[in-house]
């Protein structure tokens, strides 16, 4: 059976692998189709495309966009970015990142005032301009402040804990519509991490009306029962089942590339939807 992994991160957001290393690992693991879906950036997509082509992989160029619906964070992946529509998503991301950087400035300031001396400028020199909480947490681990990213997120960097405050995010339904207008395919990432089952069943008809095409049913942290539930829900709403590991390399050591066991048909079905 052929497999795909349509949710992965590289050094261009908060992963540890280069696009080349990601493609090489996929080749070693005999993954047939691969996607790059870095958080709120497209900086690595054409480097990834070149590597994927050289290695004979089927591939998708994407970006995982952070949005907000009814007060909750929701991640929507824009898939099948290309040279013709890249400028549209780049403009969208630039607007979002300006707001995000203001949030990062405030976070670094608050941490420094309380003795956690972390410089945003140093983070940007090391990791680039696309900084999020995971980058702060990585440095905290190295400085011995916390033992893991999870500890940081549940403590010092927890939302509402006094240090981290969420930057204003784009509306989820509007973002889905935007993705469609760019000529891309919108896919809901890891739905059961952001919604309860009841919330998800209320959300999907709205998302479908806005243009949602796919939803991750196969995901590294989902049980067989959760996957089965999501497959049935996707079928009910005529939404394509997608899947990916959410691989970040050594940043999240417990998540291996291909660990979602997503069938190759996920890639085929999304590609066919794009053709329509």
Confidence class for position 183, pLDDT limits 50, 70, 90: very high
Range of the domain at 103: 94-154
Flag whether 25 is in a domain.
yes
Domain count, the chain: 2
Domain check: are 264 and 191 in the same one?
yes
Domain check: are 72 and 177 in the same one?
yes
Give 3-state DSSP helix, strand, coil % of the chain, rounded to 5: 45, 20, 35
Domain check: are 79 and 185 in the same one?
yes
pLDDT at position 99 over 90: no
pLDDT at position 64 over 90: yes
Domain check: are 180 and 206 in the same one?
yes
Domain check: are 7 and 66 in the same one?
yes
Strand order across the beta sheet in which 262-263 lies? 240-244, 214-219, 185-188, 72-79, 58-69, 33-39, 3-5, 262-263
Domain check: are 191 and 269 in the same one?
yes
Q: Tell me the HSE value of 90 on the side-chain side, using a 13 A CA sphere.
A: 10
pLDDT in tens, 104-139: 999 999 999 988 889 999 999 998 877 888 899 999
Domain check: are 183 and 80 in the same one?
yes
CATH number at residue 255: 3.20.20.140
Partner residues linked to 66 by β-bridges: 75
Confidence class for position 37, pLDDT limits 50, 70, 90: very high
Q: In this predicted structure, which of 12-16, 38-42, 129-133 has the lowest mean pLDDT?
A: 129-133
């Amino acid at each position: 059976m052929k497999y795909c992994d349509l949710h992965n991160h590289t050094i261009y957001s908060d992963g540890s692998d280069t696009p080349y290393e990601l493609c090489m690992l996929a080749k070693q693991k005999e993954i047939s189709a691969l996607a790059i879906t870095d958080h709120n950036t497209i900086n690595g997509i054409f480097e990834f495309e070149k590597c994927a082509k050289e290695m004979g992989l089927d591939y998708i160029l994407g970006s995982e966009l952070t949005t907000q619906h009814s007060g909750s964070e929701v991640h929507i992946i824009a898939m099948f970015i290309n040279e013709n529509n890249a400028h549209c998503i780049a403009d969208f991301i630039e607007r979002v990142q300006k707001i995000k950087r203001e949030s990062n400035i405030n976070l670094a300031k608050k941490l420094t005032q309380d003795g956690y001396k972390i410089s945003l400028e140093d983070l940007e020199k090391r990791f680039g301009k696309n900084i999020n909480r995971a980058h702060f947490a990585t440095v905290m681990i190295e400085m011995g402040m916390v033992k893991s990213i999870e500890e940081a997120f549940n403590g010092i960097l927890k939302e509402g804990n006094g240090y981290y405050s969420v930057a204003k995010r784009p509306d989820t339904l509007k973002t889905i519509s935007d993705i469609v207008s760019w000529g891309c395919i919108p896919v809901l990432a890891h739905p059961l991490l952001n919604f309860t089952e009841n919330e998800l069943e209320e959300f999907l008809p709205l998302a479908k009306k806005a243009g949602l095409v796919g939803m991750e049913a196969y995901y590294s942290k989902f049980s067989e029962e959760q996957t089965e539930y999501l497959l049935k829900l996707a079928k009910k709403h005529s939404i394509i089942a997608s899947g990916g590991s959410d691989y970040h390399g050594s940043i999240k050591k417990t998540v291996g590339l291909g660990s979602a066991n997503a069938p190759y048909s996920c890639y085929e079905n999304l590609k066919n939807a794009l053709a329509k």
